[in-house]
Amino acid sequence: MNGELTHRPKTAACYGSDLPDSAACDNAANESVARDDVVSTQASQLTMWRLRSQTLDWSRPYVMGIVNLTPDSFSDGGRVKGVDAALTRAEELLSQGADLIDLGGESTRPGADTLSVEEECLRVLPAIEAIVHTLGASVSVDTTKSEVARRALACGAEIVNDVSGGRFDPKMYEVVESGQGYYVCGHVRGESIEEVHKAVDPSENEVGDELLARLLSMPAWLRPRTMIDPCLGFGKGLQSNLSLLADSGKLSARLSAPVLIGASRKRFVGELCDLAIGDRDAASVGAALAAVRAGAHMLRVHNVKMTVEALRVFCAASTLGKGAHV
DSSP class of 200:
P
Nearest to 214 by CA among 169, 269, 250, 270: 169
Could you give the angle at the alpha carbon of 305 between the alpha carbons of 244 and 80, nearest 5°? 90
Strands 55-56 and 49-50, by their bridges, are antiparallel
244/44 Cα distance (integer angstroms):
23
Q: Which of 266, 280, 293, 322 is catalytic?
A: 266
Strand partners, 207: none
* Residue 198 annotated as catalytic: no
Where does the chain show beta strands of DSSP type E? 49-50, 55-56, 62-68, 100-104, 139-142, 159-162, 182-186, 226-229, 260-261, 298-301
* Residue 225 annotated as catalytic: no
Contact in structure between 156 and 141 (CB atoms under 8 Å): no
Residues acting as catalytic residues: 266, 300
